[in-house]
């Protein structure tokens, strides 16, 4: 039963993180759709691509920093 609880907890957490309004995640796409709904005009694909690329690079950079910090903590003391 503990394994099922842990799987449910991880699934819910992943869903919440995915809905965050960050570029390159579903929440970022929702923000673009909301912008289009409010202003009745689509965001140019060029700008949307740039925002998603920058957001993706920031997310990857954050993951690298966190992984490096964890590895440093494990092996560095």
Per-residue pLDDT tens over the stretch 19-73 = 888 777 788 888 899 999 999 999 999 998 998 888 889 889 999 999 999 999 9
How many CB atoms lie under 10 A from the CB of residue 67?
10
Neighbour-count burial of 23, counting CB atoms closer than 10 A to its CB (0-12 exposed, 13-18 middle, 19+ buried): buried
Q: Answer whether residue 18 shows pLDDT above 70.
A: yes
pTM above threshold 0.75: no
Orientation angle between helical segments 26-39 and 45-76, nearest 10 degrees: 150
Q: Give me the pLDDT at residue 77, please.
A: 64
């Amino acid at each position: 039963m503990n394994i099922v609880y842990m799987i449910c907890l991880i699934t819910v957490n992943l869903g919440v993180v995915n809905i965050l309004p960050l570029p390159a995640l579903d929440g970022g796409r929702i923000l673009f759709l909301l912008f289009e709904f409010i202003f009745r005009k689509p965001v140019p694909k060029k700008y949307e691509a740039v925002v998603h690329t920058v957001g993706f690079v920031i997310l990857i950079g954050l993951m690298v920093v966190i992984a490096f910090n964890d590895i440093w903590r494990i092996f560095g003391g």
